[in-house]
Amino acid sequence: MHASDKLPRHVAIIMDGNGRWAARRGLPRLRGHEEGAESVIAALRVCRDRGIRYLTLYAFSAENWRRPRTEIAGLMGLLRRFLHNREAELHRDRVRLRVIGRLADLPADVRRDLRRVIEGTSSYRNYHLILALSYGGRAEIVDAARGLAMAAVEGRLDPARLNERVFRRFLYAPDVPDPDLMIRTSGEIRLSNFLLWQLSYAELYFTPTLWPDFREKEFAEALAEYARRQRRFGALA
């Protein structure tokens, strides 16, 4: 097996632990989110340097809307600053920005900034940064089922021909390959409604490291663990 064969093509990350990082230092929660944004840059750098083409980040879940309004406003402002500060870098590295989730839930100014960067990077194919915003795995499956049902009612789809490949066409990003590796930081060991369809055969990696402390070294350790595993996809070794 070549060294390149041991690298995942698609890494998905649940970025957990920003609040605990801040609390341990007596800082506001938003300070943890700001430091976590630096870990996003580090992850992008690793993907660029290692040739990992797809990176999906669980940036804001559908359940996160239950958080205090001040924290939500801070997170939305942080997202807009990230887009503004890193837009040139995305162009330089030819990274295509994509978003999955119920985007209509986001504030209008956030949607406007996202749309600008998404459209501006839409022609790039080297790397894909996929942000899961107002995202829930069950909601994605429900939305896919709704789209499929509408196609059947309108005569565009024969239900008798429904299979996994056809169902996949109705997901938020049907052309994106399933993650090979899913990383969750902060020591929590659960999926938290993240990519429930797509993670069926992903390798799962859980680390106690809080997201703001998850930088190049920690990412390299996750990739090394992935390389040690043997993926069988239900077959014999």
- Greatest extent of the chain over all pairs of C-alpha atoms, in Å: 59
CB 114 within 8 A of CB 83: yes
- Residue 92: CB atoms within 10 Å: 10
List the catalytic residues.
Answer: 16, 64
How far is it, in rounded angstroms, from Cα 17 to Cα 164?
A: 34
Q: Which two tokens stand for residue 231?
A: 């993926």
β-pair type (10-14, 54-61): parallel
Helix (H, G, I), strand (E, B) or coil at 192: coil
Q: Which helix (H) or strand (E) holds 58?
A: strand 54-61
